[in-house]
Structure 1
Amino acid sequence: MESEQQPNPGSLGALLRQVPQRFELLQALLILEREQQAADSLGTGSDLEGELARLRAQQTVDSLGTGSDPEREVVRLRGPLLPEFAPSEISSLRLVPNVKVPGARLTLHTQVFGLGGPDGPLPYAYQEWLQQRARNRDHGTVAFLDLFQHRLLSLMYRVQQRQRVALPYRQPALSPVYQQLRALCGLSSSSVEQLTVLPERALIARAGLLANRRRSLAGFQNLLKHYFDLPVQLHGYQGAWQQIASSDQSVLGRKGRNLTLGRNALCGTRAWDEHAGIHIRLGPQEPRMAERFMPGQEAHQQLAALVAFYFGAQLRCTVSVHVTSSAILTLGHQQPAALGQGTRLNRVARTGDFRIDLRLHEEGST
Structure 2
Amino acid sequence: MATNPGLRALTLFQALAENPHAFDFYRALREIECAFPDKPRIGEARRPQDEPVRFGQDASLAFAPATLAAFVRGEDGRPPRLIQSFFGLLGPNGALPLHLTEFARDRMRNSGDPTLVRFLDIFHHRLIAVFYRAWARAQPAVSMDRSERDRFMLYLGAFVGLAEKRLRGRDALPDAVKLSFAGLLGRGVRNADGLVAILREFLGVPVAIQQWVAHWMALPDSLLTRLGNEAVCGLGITAVAGARVWDLQSRFRVVVGPLSFADYERFLPGGESYRKLSDWVRNYVGFEYKWDSRVMLEADQVPPLLLGYNGRLGWTSWLGTRLNEAPAADLLLAGH
Same fold (TM over 0.5): yes
> Using a 3 Å threshold, how does the CA distance of structure 1 residues 347 and 75 change in structure 2: closer, same or farther?
closer
Match status 1:311 vs 2:257 = no
After TM superposition, the structure 1 = structure 2 runs for residues 101-116 of structure 1, keeping only pairs within 5 Å, are 106-111=80-85, 113-115=87-89
Match status 1:21 vs 2:21 = yes
1:353 is aligned, of 324, 327, 330, to: 327
What does the per-residue CA deviation read over 1:9-40, in whole Å, with 9 as the maximum and x for residues that have no partner? 973332233223333434433554666677xx
Which residue number in structure 1 is paired with residue 241 of structure 2? 268
Which residue number in structure 2 is paired with residue 49 of structure 1? none
After TM superposition, the structure 1 = structure 2 runs for residues 248-267 of structure 1, keeping only pairs within 5 Å, are 248-253=223-228, 256-259=230-233, 265-267=238-240
* Number of aligned positions between the proteins: 324
Whole-angstrom CA distance in 2 between matches of 1:91 and 1:335: 70
After TM superposition, the structure 1 = structure 2 runs for residues 257-336 of structure 1, keeping only pairs within 5 Å, are 257-259=231-233, 265-269=238-242, 270-332=244-306, 336=310
Structure 1 unaligned spans of 5+ = 1-5, 39-57
Match status 1:229 vs 2:204 = yes
Aligned residue for 1:319, secondary structure, equals strand
What does the per-residue CA deviation read over 1:337-363, in whole Å, with 9 as the maximum and x for residues that have no partner? 12222322343542232224322233x
Aligned residue for 2:127, secondary structure, equals helix
Q: Write the letter of the residue equivalent to 1:25.
A: F
Q: Write the letter of the residue equivalent to 2:20.
A: P
Shift of 1:293: 1.0
What does the per-residue CA deviation read over 1:212-239, in whole Å, with 9 as the maximum and x for residues that have no partner? 2432222211211121111211222224
What does the per-residue CA deviation read over 1:46-74, in whole Å, with 9 as the maximum and x for residues that have no partner? xxxxxxxxxxxx9xx99756347x68853
Match status 1:220 vs 2:195 = yes
Match status 1:186 vs 2:161 = yes
Shift of 1:286: 0.8
Q: Quick check: 149-158 or 171-180, which moved more? A: 171-180
After TM superposition, the structure 1 = structure 2 runs for residues 145-184 of structure 1, keeping only pairs within 5 Å, are 145-167=120-142, 170-184=145-159
Whole-angstrom CA distance in 2 between matches of 1:310 and 1:169: 25
Contact 2:255 2:295 in 1 (8 A): yes
Whole-angstrom CA distance in 1 between matches of 2:168 and 2:33: 34
Whole-angstrom CA distance in 2 between matches of 1:322 and 1:94: 64
Match status 1:137 vs 2:107 = yes
After TM superposition, the structure 1 = structure 2 runs for residues 5-20 of structure 1, keeping only pairs within 5 Å, are 11-20=11-20
> Using a 3 Å threshold, how does the CA distance of structure 1 residues 224 and 114 change in structure 2: closer, same or farther?
farther
Whole-angstrom CA distance in 2 between matches of 1:273 and 1:116: 78
Which residue number in structure 1 is paired with residue 318 of structure 2? 344
Contact 2:72 2:82 in 1 (8 A): yes
Give identity over the alignment, percent: 24
2:218 is aligned, of 217, 237, 243, to: 243
Whole-angstrom CA distance in 2 between matches of 1:85 and 1:232: 59
Whole-angstrom CA distance in 2 between matches of 1:107 and 1:121: 20
Q: Write the letter of the residue equivalent to 1:232.
A: V
Match status 1:209 vs 2:184 = yes
Contact 2:297 2:327 in 1 (8 A): yes
RMSD across aligned positions (CA)? 3.9
Contact 2:59 2:104 in 1 (8 A): no
Q: Write the letter of the residue equivalent to 1:219.
A: G
Aligned residue for 2:279, secondary structure, equals helix
> Using a 3 Å threshold, how does the CA distance of structure 1 residues 103 and 201 change in structure 2: closer, same or farther?
closer
Which residue number in structure 2 is paired with residue 53 of structure 1? none
Name the one with the larger helix percent.
Answer: 2
After TM superposition, the structure 1 = structure 2 runs for residues 30-49 of structure 1, keeping only pairs within 5 Å, are 31-32=31-32
Whole-angstrom CA distance in 1 between matches of 2:36 and 2:176: 30
Whole-angstrom CA distance in 1 between matches of 2:78 and 2:168: 51
> Using a 3 Å threshold, how does the CA distance of structure 1 residues 175 and 19 change in structure 2: closer, same or farther?
farther
Contact 1:8 1:14 in 2 (8 A): no
Structure 2 unaligned spans of 5+ = 1-5, 109-113
Shift of 1:332: 3.5
What does the per-residue CA deviation read over 1:60-104, in whole Å, with 9 as the maximum and x for residues that have no partner? x99756347x6885322124666766444322212488xxxx786
Contact 1:113 1:153 in 2 (8 A): yes
> Using a 3 Å threshold, how does the CA distance of structure 1 residues 344 and 93 change in structure 2: closer, same or farther?
same
Whole-angstrom CA distance in 2 between matches of 1:82 and 1:65: 29
Whole-angstrom CA distance in 1 between matches of 2:166 and 2:59: 55
Contact 2:258 2:296 in 1 (8 A): yes
Q: Write the letter of the residue equivalent to 2:54.
A: R
What does the per-residue CA deviation read over 1:225-274, in whole Å, with 9 as the maximum and x for residues that have no partner? 12111121122222433333343445455x53345578x53333444443
Shift of 1:182: 3.6
Aligned residue for 1:11, secondary structure, equals helix
Match status 1:90 vs 2:68 = yes
Q: Write the letter of the residue equivalent to 1:331.
A: L
